[in-house]
Amino acid sequence: MSKGFNLQTDKDLAKDFLTNFADINGEAKYMSILQEVANRKIRAVQIELEDLLDYKDLDEEFFGRVTENTRRYLGVFADAIDELIPEATEAFTEDDNDILMTQRAADGNENADSADPHQRMPKEIKRFFEVYIKASCKGQARPFTIREVKASNIGQLVRISGIVTRCSDVKPLMQVAVYTCEECGFEIYQEVTARIFMPLFECPSERCKINNAKGNLILQLRASKFLRFQEAKIQELSEHVPKGHIPRTMTVHFRGELTRKVAPGDVIELSGIFLPIPYTGFRAMRAGLVADTYLEAMSVSHYKKKYEEYKLEGDEEEQIANLAEDGDIYNKLARSLAPEIFGHEDVKKALLLLLVGAPHRQLKDGMKIRGDLHICLMGDPGVAKSQLLKHIISVAPRGVYTTGKGSSGVGLTAAVMKDPVTNEMVLEGGALVLADMGICAIDEFDKMDDSDRTAIHEVMEQQTVSIAKAGITTSLNARTAVLAAANPAWGRYDLRRTPAENINLPPALLSRFDLLWLILDRADMDSDLEMARHVVYVHQHSKSPALGFAPLDASVLRAYISAAIKICPHVPKELEEYIATVYSSIRQDEAKSNAPHSYTTIRTLLSIIRLSTALARLRFSEVLAQSDVDEALRLMQMSKFSLYSEDRQKSGLDAISDIYSVLRDEALRMKKMDVSYAHALNWISRKGYTEAQLKECLEEYAALNVWQIHPNTFDIRFIDA
């Protein structure tokens, strides 16, 4: 074959490839796709470059030409498909285009073979399929970042990764304009290849020329062919931006079957043709000779699928079924969340339940009860709150991370902006709207202005954002789970003040959080030593120490949760009384205490039910069990545990009893009956007790015949095993 570009030869090569390329099972892959197209099951024919590489009878030059000049070869493959497409084997309902084509065939289009291109019926109008060429992953290990796409890539097929920042509505884009002449009645066709076109006004047919009649043309919108068209803006990912630069953006055009595939906030990988586009209209006068560039999308893949889009393959299904049968799955899933972060086992369990959530309930009269859990982590500096937030966002399929000071009220809810293209007032969704059906993490929650924080109240309970600005009155969905992290009022928790003074958030907001988790940074020699060892290990090996099992990957977590979310557990009759009794006793305890730690309302009861439902979902159970309710109550209790432990010391769970329990626990752990005085002193000094208190304890419990003391060395021997 000659090295020159020969369209006919290339078309023959394309036909040969489409006819004979076989998949792993030995079936003709593309011919079966074309049969589905003929039966109107699908519209898109996606040609994968990897298949072109693997096909033996094609030379590498052809592959090179397809990647270098993709726009041209879309036409070559479309022409080849026109000749190869089989007859329909199944009955299908005809659309407008099919009826029009039948009508044209019946009329016997007189001017089909006319020399005038305007009178010849273009191929585009006959086609009921679209051709896309998908870039291969071979040869290019990772997709380009936006700033790596240069002028040398113009016209080529490139792979790009980024995050979608804006999406236009889907609009019809004219592909073939059809006119009818008032004088001669002929159909005139005009192919539209650019964003703008000059309509025809005079009939170019032979009859009008012979009669010297300037036939007036009328544009027939019903007979014209339109494509779906959507424009999106894609922005570089933050990890790809060099030091001191700001992220770059690129315009992407989606056509036909690729529209409605992306939404703002999605992290995607695109393959497409990089093309220039000159400015038009008034912008061209301002821009002068400068042109703009855009990407003509050919395929879209999401980095993180939505839960609804998860289709479990055979081995994944088996893996999840095995996990579900594991009795300890709740602990394993929780410990697989951020395994590099030491401790916080119960916090991780709460965050796991936040990812799972409970089902939304809609009553017959239209009233909605939310299923999303809201959690607030409040704690001293340096207890890994922000790291937990970042990790949860990376695990969740849809998540938005913002900080308190960097977010205004409209930045969280919705802002009214002027659309740069149409100059109309449009609504731009904020962080809470972008996180719809996902998780919105708000860091530095306490640093937010009160006026901005009120924007969250409606979202947390009604799960909508109501707007009345600039003539736009509407309500946007914001079915999002809020995960907030905050510091106490004085930076660190001040034990001399009441919990209400420390927390410093309005009761209206506090009651909306299902769990308010207080994490206090306590000096405790044993746990500090363990944590220090853990941190040093992570720094040495760049991984977490062994958990006793292999931590589950984020993709496995997502797959498991996607399976769990499909279940809607209900409260059985026998648990009604138990839950009601538990709630009333919590209220009674709060009424009796001088400085209550929490603010209990009827929302707390809903929180108990939501947490229990999420736990039942993790077990793939349709019915709540009492163990679920007990675990939900335990999590609520543990969320204030660091305070209760402080209260115990204050209320004087006296030092003597505490020293005894420390010595007994350590002796049990070491399985020894004898404990040396030096060891005993070491253990209790770690807990902040003195030698005088130890001696007092030894005497007191020796008098009770719990242990015997050596008269000289003060070593201890336990009498009761």
Q: Mean pLDDT for the chain?
A: 81
Rounded to whole angstroms, how far apart are CA atoms 38 and 36? 5
7 closest CA partner among 82, 77, 84: 77
Q: How confident is the model at residue 272 (pLDDT cuts 50, 70, 90)?
A: very high
Is the pLDDT assigned to residue 492 strictly greater than 60?
A: yes
3 state DSSP class of 458: helix
Residue 5: per-residue pLDDT: 53
Encode pLDDT of 667-706 as tens digits.
Answer: 887 777 788 888 888 877 777 777 888 888 888 888 887 7
Query: Of the ranges 98-107, 288-297, 344-353, 574-583, which one carries the lowest mean pLDDT score?
Result: 98-107
Q: How confident is the model at residue 252 (pLDDT cuts 50, 70, 90)?
A: very high
Residue 702: per-residue pLDDT: 82
Residue 514: per-residue pLDDT: 84
Mean pLDDT value across residues 501-520: 82
Residue 2: per-residue pLDDT: 41
Residue 647: per-residue pLDDT: 54
Is the pLDDT assigned to residue 721 strictly greater than 60?
A: no
Encode pLDDT of 358-406 as tens digits.
Answer: 888 888 888 888 888 888 888 888 888 888 888 888 888 888 888 876 6
Residue 380: per-residue pLDDT: 84
Is the pLDDT assigned to residue 26 strictly greater than 80?
A: no
Is the pLDDT assigned to residue 95 strictly greater than 50?
A: yes
Residue 652: per-residue pLDDT: 46
Q: Which two tokens stand for residue 266?
A: 């999605």
Rounded to whole angstroms, how far apart are CA atoms 295 and 234? 10
pLDDT > 90: percent of the chain: 4
The H-or-E segment that residue 267 falls in is: strand 267-278
Q: Which residue has the higher pLDDT, 195 or 133?
A: 133
Residue 1: per-residue pLDDT: 40
The residue type at 119: Q
pTM reported for the whole predicted model = 0.72
The H-or-E segment that residue 271 falls in is: strand 267-278
Mean pLDDT value across residues 159-168: 86
Is residue 429 within 8 Å of 472, Cβ to Cβ? no
What contacts 170, CB < 8 A, 6 or more positions away?
228, 229, 230, 259, 260
Is the pLDDT assigned to residue 649 strictly greater than 60?
A: no
Is the pLDDT assigned to residue 539 strictly greater than 80?
A: yes
Q: Which residue has the higher pLDDT, 249 or 686?
A: 249
Strand pairing of 368-369 and 291-302?
A: unpaired
Q: Which residue has the higher pLDDT, 196 or 327?
A: 196
Q: Which residue has the higher pLDDT, 689 or 19?
A: 19
Exposure string of 409-429, with b = 16+ CB inside 10 Å and e = fewer, is bbbbbbbeeeeeeeeeeebeb
Rounded to whole angstroms, how far apart are CA atoms 209 and 184? 10
What contacts 403, CB < 8 A, 6 or more positions away?
442, 443, 444, 447
Residue 273: per-residue pLDDT: 92
Exposure string of 451-473, with b = 16+ CB inside 10 Å and e = fewer, is ebbebbebbbbebbbebeeeeee
* Strand partners of residue 255: 229
**Beta strand ranges found along 62-199 (DSSP E):** 130-134, 157-167, 171-181, 187-191
Residue 600: per-residue pLDDT: 78
Residue 254: per-residue pLDDT: 93
Query: Of the ranges 240-254, 415-429, 540-554, 624-638, which one carries the lowest mean pLDDT score?
Result: 415-429
Residue 477: per-residue pLDDT: 75
Is residue 46 within 8 Å of 157, Cβ to Cβ? no
What contacts 297, CB < 8 A, 6 or more positions away?
252, 253, 254, 255, 258, 270, 271, 272
Is the pLDDT assigned to residue 297 strictly greater than 90?
A: yes
Encode pLDDT of 101-153 as tens digits.
Answer: 787 777 765 445 555 666 678 888 888 888 999 887 665 668 888 888 988 98
Query: Of the ranges 42-51, 443-452, 476-485, which one carries the lowest mean pLDDT score?
Result: 443-452
The residue type at 250: M
Is the pLDDT assigned to residue 419 strictly greater than 50?
A: yes
Encode pLDDT of 604-648 as tens digits.
Answer: 888 888 889 988 888 888 888 888 888 888 888 887 776 665 555
Identify the burial level of 323 via C-beta atoms within 10 angstroms of its C-beta, where 0-12 means exposed, 13-18 middle and 19 or more buried.
middle
What contacts 302, CB < 8 A, 6 or more positions away?
262, 266, 267, 268, 309
Q: Which residue has the higher pLDDT, 149 or 498?
A: 149
Rounded to whole angstroms, how far apart are CA atoms 638 and 645? 10
Query: Of the ranges 484-493, 632-641, 651-660, which one carries the lowest mean pLDDT score?
Result: 651-660
Residue 203: per-residue pLDDT: 86
Q: Which residue has the higher pLDDT, 678 or 154?
A: 154
Encode pLDDT of 548-589 as tens digits.
Answer: 777 788 878 888 888 888 888 888 888 888 888 888 888 888
Residue 289: per-residue pLDDT: 78
Rounded to whole angstroms, how far apart are CA atoms 275 and 193? 13
